[in-house]
Amino acid sequence: DTAVSQTPKYLVTQMGNDKSIKCEQNLGHDTMYWYKQDSKKFLKIMFSYNNKELIINETVPNRFSPKSPDKAHLNLHINSLELGDSAVYFCASSPGTSGAPTYNEQFFGPGTRLTVL
Amino acid sequence: AQSVTQLGSHVSVSEGALVLLRCNYSSSVPPYLFWYVQYPNQGLQLLLKYTTGATLVKGINGFEAEFKKSETSFHLTKPSAHMSDAAEYFCAVSGSRGSTLGRLYFGRGTQLTVWP
């Protein structure tokens, strides 16, 4: 009964390939996020979807494309992978994005370690 | 804009000693503040959060933090360290309204080592 799950846990691929990471949450939350954690463990938000609508799109290369088929799922597709894309990618979810404080608590998945060779 | 500075990328303490991890924030609106813990090869787990109300907040595993607006700080403390506390700790801030909602900005983390 994992709250936020990601697949795969590890992903090793060659430069230039296209890959996808999947995320699912069973918390009934409306909002989902993708974060990137680099080799120095710095975490940075990439995208956020609220009820399947893109609401946050930080300065991320166009090769990264999130897709939310429904509010329980947020996938991340990466085209033409580069060495610098190697990182741990975390999915998170929160109840929503209204001003109510409880809406802003984010629950994180276990991460997907992407290694580009 | 929001940002977080964590002073000290590595902190070492003896088992039973006080743990103090420092966090200073910058926010253009009233902030929501969070501490997360990351154990090796795992995701982030919320330790505690400050949103509104009481400025001293208690979290899981005996941790607490105090929001000090005048000092723009949200330091994390635990009176007595345990070996199981060894992990990476992240302080994060988000805004409380408008476009700042939902955007968690993280500090660069503090690795806590606990010596027996």
Residue B107 has pLDDT above 90, yes or no: yes
pLDDT over 90 (residue B73): yes
Average pLDDT over residues B40-58: 91
Question: Residue A97's pLDDT is what?
Answer: 63
Query: What pLDDT sits at residue B41?
Result: 82
Say which of A35, A98, A104 has its CB closest to residue B32: A104
Residue B48 banded pLDDT, cuts 50, 70, 90: very high
Handedness of CA B71, B24, B57, A25 (dihedral sign): positive
Mutate to test the interface with A, among B99, B101, B103, B111 (most CBs of A within 10 A): B101
Interchain CB distance below 8 Å, A101 and B51: yes
Chain A nearest CA to B103, separation (Å): 7
Mean predicted confidence (pLDDT) in B67-96: 94
- Taking an 8 Å cut-off on Cβ atoms, the answer to whether B108 and A41 are in contact is yes
Tell me the pairing of strands B3-7 and A19-25.
Answer: unpaired
Q: At B116, list the tokens.
A: 């027996």
Instruction: Kindly state whether B101 is in contact with chain A, defined as any CB-CB distance less than 8 angstroms.
Output: yes
| Nearest C-alpha neighbor of A112 from the set A82, A84, A90, A81 | A90
Percent share of chain B, pLDDT over 70:
96
Q: What amino acid is encoded at A71 in this protein?
A: K
**Phi and psi for A28 in degrees, rounded to 5?**
75, 15
Kindly give the confidence (pLDDT) of every residue in chain A, 117 residues in length, as a single tens digit, with 9 standing for 90 and above: 679 999 999 999 999 999 999 999 999 998 999 999 999 889 999 998 888 888 888 878 999 999 999 989 999 999 999 999 999 999 999 987 665 656 678 899 999 999 999
Taking the CA of residue B101 and the nearest CA in chain A, the distance in Å comes to 6
DSSP annotation string for B68-101 = EGGGTEEEEEESS--GGG-EEEEEEEEESSGGGT
Residue of B nearest to A40 (CA): B108
**Residues whose CB falls within 8 Å of the CB of residue B43, separated by 6 or more in sequence, listed in order:** A4, A90, A108, A109, A110, A111
Query: Does pLDDT of B6 surpass 70?
Result: yes
How far is residue B106's CA from residue B90's CA, in Å, rounded to a whole number?
Answer: 7
Which residue in chain A has the smallest CA separation from B96? A99
Asked if A33 and B106 count as a contact pair (C-beta separation under 8 A), the reply is no
DSSP B101: T
Q: How many CB atoms lie within 10 A of CB B78?
A: 21
Quickly count helices (H) and strands (E) in chain A: 0, 11
Is residue A23 within 8 Å of residue A73, measured between CB atoms?
yes
